[in-house]
Chain A
Amino acid sequence: GIQVEQSPPDLILQEGANSTLRCNFSDSVNNLQWFHQNPWGQLINLFYIPSGTKQNGRLSATTVATERYSLLYISSSQTTDSGVYFCAVEAWDDKIIFGKGTRLHILP
């Protein structure tokens, strides 16, 4: 089946810093999403981005489907950005497969 790899696995930053999270996938995909799992375990949709670039406030994402990767940018980090960021891809067999996530900790 399709493999989804996220990097880095862990990231510790000072408040106000910028960061880039990466998602690589092993085969062509139907769709790609980024999620934020907050400290209470809730999964929050950030971006639905099968290709191209989208922005939402301090967050933006770019997917280059032909090269099988996606990037999530977080600018001017805040402590509320802490949590785990997941990339999830829908393969052509309709399965949505998650990466292992990047654990982000923003220090005040």
Chain B
Amino acid sequence: NAGVTQTPKFRILKIGQSMTLQCTQDMNHNYMYWYRQDPGMGLKLIYYSVGAGITDKGEVPNGYNVSRSTTEDFPLRLELAAPSQTSVYFCASSFIDSEGGAFFGQGTRLTVV
């Protein structure tokens, strides 16, 4: 099992550009999450999904969109990138009610210039 895979690992965007961060998991987990981590800070929840076709806002959803068309994939879309979105983005997945714990990808380091 590869676990949770995020692509790309690094990306530099110009202000106003858009991009999609990809996240896929092969553990048949129902729940998936997107977090951002600013330097020296904790993780903030952007969006989460409890199953295919269902998404909900987290703590900091503004400027982002998500979709969950399959159990395996949970892409995060940035529209009109801003310098405030410079951060490390983590995707995670778990079984229902995070039974057994949530497992994280390696992260995507995004810089908006």
Residues on A with beta carbons closer than 8 Å to the beta carbon of B90: 43
Q: Who on chain B is nearest to A33 by CB?
A: B101
Q: Does A74 contact B (CB under 8 A)?
A: no
Check B98–A31 contact: CB distance below 8 A: yes
Tally of A-B Cβ pairs under 8 angstroms = 58
Q: Which of A1, A90, A99 lies in contact with B98, CB distance below 8 A?
A: A90
Q: Which residues of A contact B56 (CB under 8 A)?
A: 94-95
Check A86 against B43 for contact (C-beta < 8 Å): yes
A96 CB contact (under 8 Å) in B41, B45, B100: B45
Check A30/B98 contact, CB under 8 A, given A1-B59, A41-B107. Answer: yes
For chain B, what secondary structure do more than half of its interface residues adopt (helix, strand, loop), or is it mixed? strand
Q: How many residues on A have C-beta within 8 angstroms of the other chain's C-beta atoms? A: 21
Q: For the complex, count residues of B whose C-beta is within 8 A of A.
A: 27
Majority SS at the chain A contact face? strand
A90 — which chain B residues lie within 8 A by C-beta? 97-98
Residues A94 and B42 in contact, CB atoms below 8 Å apart:
no
Q: Does A59 contact B (CB under 8 A)?
A: no
- Residue B74 is within 8 A (CB to CB) of chain A in the complex: no
Q: Are B42 and A86 in contact (CB under 8 A)?
A: yes
User: Which A residues are CB-close (under 8 A) to B50?
Assistant: 94
Q: Which of B16-61 contact A (CB under 8 A)?
A: 31, 33, 35, 41-45, 48, 50, 56, 58-59
Point out the residues of chain B lying under 8 angstroms from A43, CB to CB: 90, 104
Chain B residues whose CB sits within 8 angstroms of the CB of A26 once the complex forms = none
The chain A residues found within 8 Å of chain B, CB to CB, are: 1, 30-31, 33, 35, 41-43, 45, 48, 86, 88, 90, 94-101
Other 7 A-B pairs with CB < 8 A, given A45-B102, A96-B48, A98-B44: A1-B59, A31-B99, A48-B98, A48-B101, A86-B42, A86-B43, A90-B97
